[in-house]
Structure 1
Amino acid sequence: MEATTLSFENLHNHGQLFANMFRARHRTFIQHNKWDLPQANGMEFDQYDTPASRWVAVHEGGEVKAGVRLTPTTHRCGIYSYMIRDAQLGLLETIPKDLLSFEAPVDPYIWESSRVFVSDDVPADERLRVQMQLIREMVISARNLGATSLLGIIPEHSPRLARRVGLDCVPVGPVMDTGGMRSVCVSISMATRLH
């Protein structure tokens, strides 16, 4: 099993991995979660999948087992910046405006973590190992990008898993219903060491 951080600059070096990640997102978010998201050719994408973002994929034999997107909070594309800020500004109908307990930052040292998933095809006895590899590669990538912290929306009970592996993950907003799931906005410090 490998973990790869993809960008528009290096995706040509990784064959179908980039497309396979979007296919895995389609299976997770559209087919399994039944979310109404943009899609084409069996791939899920949105307005935040731009050259400014990076995508971490945990994969084996071309099959994507887990992934996450990292987007700088300083990025803008048309009227959009990043998902959490745009939700707070009322640009997104499916995420509540009051998701954060402070004004969404625009800071070169803070990146957003979004579209986090572990494929339903991953067996229960392998899920923790896949999650750990995803978290580890996400932290390495974020640090390499200069991030000192990440903002993200994760399932309500995920901060406990993060703390178990040594991440400083703190809820920074109320628990909310996002697409039929109870989620919370968190801040993740990149300063701590992983176990």
Structure 2
Amino acid sequence: MQTTVLSFENLHNHGELFANLFRARKQSFIVEKRWDLPEALDMEYDQYDTPASRWIAIHDEVGQVYAGIRLTPTTARCGIYSYMIRDAQRGLLSSLSADLLYEEAPVDPYCWECTRVFVLHSTPQMIRRRVHAYMVEAMVKSARELGATQLIAITPANWPRWYGRCGLTAKGIGPVMYIDDGDYQCVQIELASKLH
């Protein structure tokens, strides 16, 4: 199993992996979860897949993707868009409530947003724990290398149970909301203690 952090600068070094990640996102979010999201060429994408973002792929040696994560700086700008949580709060996304945060969404070079987190249902059960461990390790390491001391994310509402097991320190920063297929909540993940 391998972890690769993709960017617009390095995607040419990784063959089909970038496209495979977007195909896996389609499988996870459009096929499995039945979310109404944009797609083209058998890939899921949105307005936040810009050169400002980074994508983490957990995959095998031939590029079969098991899981993925997108990281976007909270300082990102592309036309009228910034990042998903902030744009939802600003009323730009009809699929998410504008009341998803208790306070104003941050715009901070040390805070990055974590979205499009998934593990494919087809990922073999015997490697799922290892996949989750690789995801957390890669997310924390990549975010720290990008200068982040915090991440914000929309995550399933049962996050306190799961995050603790993964060694993450997090707190809820918005109310629990029903979105598409379940209860979700915005959280802030602290990375300052993960410097080593």
Aligned AA (2:21): M
Is residue 166–residue 193 contact of structure 1 (8 Å, CA) maintained in 2?
Answer: no
Counterparts of 2:57 and 2:170, CA distance in 1: 21
More deviation in 42-51 or 128-137?
Answer: 128-137
Is residue 24–residue 119 contact of structure 1 (8 Å, CA) maintained in 2?
Answer: yes
Aligned to 1:50: 50
Aligned to 2:181: 180
Counterparts of 1:159 and 1:18, CA distance in 2: 31
- Superposed CA RMSD in Å reads 1.3
Is residue 7–residue 53 contact of structure 1 (8 Å, CA) maintained in 2?
Answer: yes
Counterparts of 1:74 and 1:193, CA distance in 2: 22
Aligned to 1:17: 17
- Superposition pairs of residues 1-195 of structure 1, within 5 angstroms: 1-60=1-60, 61-193=62-194
Which whole-Å deviations, capped at 9, do the CAs of 1:121-155 have from their partners, x for residues lacking one?
A: 11233222101101100110000000000000011
Counterparts of 2:194 and 2:78, CA distance in 1: 33
Match of 1:166, SS? coil
TM-score (norm 2): 0.96
Q: CA deviation at 1:193?
A: 3.5
Is residue 166–residue 192 contact of structure 1 (8 Å, CA) maintained in 2?
Answer: no
Q: CA deviation at 1:162?
A: 1.5
Q: CA deviation at 1:88?
A: 0.3
Counterparts of 2:98 and 2:193, CA distance in 1: 30
Counterparts of 1:17 and 1:175, CA distance in 2: 34
Aligned AA (2:162): L
Counterparts of 1:97 and 1:9, CA distance in 2: 33
Q: CA deviation at 1:180?
A: 1.8
Aligned AA (2:19): A
Match of 1:55, SS? strand
Counterparts of 2:125 and 2:170, CA distance in 1: 24
Where in structure 1 do 4 or more consecutive aligned residues deviate above 4 Å?
A: none
Q: CA deviation at 1:165?
A: 2.0
